[in-house]
Amino acid sequence: MLVQVAEGIHLLSIQFPFGMRQVNSYVIEGKNGVTIVDTGSYAEQAIGIWKEALPEGTKVEKILLTHSHTDHIGLAKWLRETYHAPLVIARQGYEEMKKLRARRKAHEGDATSTYPFFTKHGGPSVSEKAMLEQLDADYFEPDELLEDQQEIQLGDQAFEAIWTPGHSPDHFCFLNKSNGVMLIGDHVLNEISPLIPIWTEQDGNPLAVYFESLEKIAKLPVSIGLPGHGSLIRNVPARIHELRAGHEQRMQQILAAIPDAGSTAGELAQAVYGFEKMSMRHSAEFLMTLTRILYLESVGKVQAREREGVISYHTAE
């Protein structure tokens, strides 16, 4: 069911039986047809919701993707084929999809080989081949590419594209400067703290990047945030302050949990979040712990030591 959440903008809650299980898509009115923002994951349940909301013959002007995570692009190809509308994503999003495709094609291990980056940090055991195939499944060739600070027409409204890496390297928010409405994607969420993951050594320090992106948004005249999950954000600066404070609290817990002998990121995730055995069920906790540790390392509070291919972390001397 479409629910109006701002002038000319309607929220459509897309459900699917796996992963995040829900995403907020937005349908924006326009004289040349509606604009869709984000799609939901590929599932018959989600397709049924779209068919009911936008019956056959509905004119769709374009389909915009905030970032290339599967719950936001999973139905992109189906929507393009169904409504004959162009797919629009930032250049960074296209580059991320191409990188994943190249990694999948280059992978030489079988389904039993585990993901080495997780293994060296004490993370969950996961098939590298299966993970890469899953991440690459939603690949598409976009019809249009966006750049940072570019103006884009969404329905009858003009928005500015704003690059906000952190949750993903290609994440973008979109601000209507005339009324302060921001399509904020997964950059800021109300009920949960967005996952800030790291997948390879080349990803650097994603939490530091995320903090910079939060500051960028906090300075903008945002009247309401329309997020990719959960409820609308009525006070974006206040929520940003809460998210930053939450990360700082968790980092203090990590520092307090590091024993003299040091610990892997996986062991520290178990200590901080209170679960007994590392598994894929706890991959989010593991990834968040690792990105926080890497941030602490960047500011000189922890040190990494590698032994026999496993990295442990110690408080800085």
The rounded distance, in Å, linking the Cα atoms of 285 and 304 is 19
173, part of any domain: yes
Q: Give me 153's structure tokens.
A: 């027409």
CATH number, domain at 232? 3.60.15.10
Number of domains, the chain:
1
65, part of any domain: yes
Contact 23, 74 (CB under 8 A): no
Per-residue pLDDT of the chain (317 residues; tens, 9 = 90+): 899 999 999 999 999 999 899 999 999 999 999 999 999 999 999 999 999 999 989 999 999 999 999 999 999 999 999 999 999 999 999 999 999 898 888 877 676 778 889 999 999 988 888 778 777 778 999 999 999 999 999 999 999 999 999 999 999 999 999 999 999 999 999 999 999 999 988 999 999 999 999 999 999 999 999 999 999 999 999 999 999 999 999 999 999 999 999 999 999 999 999 998 898 889 999 999 999 999 999 999 999 999 999 999 999 97
Starting from the edge strand earliest in sequence, which strands make up the sheet with 144-146, in order? 3-6, 9-15, 22-28, 34-37, 60-64, 87-90, 144-146
pLDDT score at 187: 98
pLDDT score at 303: 97
pLDDT score at 283: 92
pLDDT score at 217: 98
pLDDT score at 106: 81
283, part of any domain: no
CA proximity to 64, closest of 40, 91, 39, 30: 39
pLDDT score at 186: 98
pLDDT score at 132: 80
Angle at 300 between CA 299 and CA 301, to 5 degrees: 100
152, part of any domain: yes
Domain that holds residue 13: 3-246
57, part of any domain: yes
pLDDT score at 113: 75
| Residue 176 burial class via C-beta count within 10 angstroms: exposed 0-12, middle 13-18, buried 19 and up | buried
What pTM did the predictor assign?
0.95
Q: How many residues does the chain have?
A: 317
The rounded distance, in Å, linking the Cα atoms of 7 and 222 is 15
258, part of any domain: no
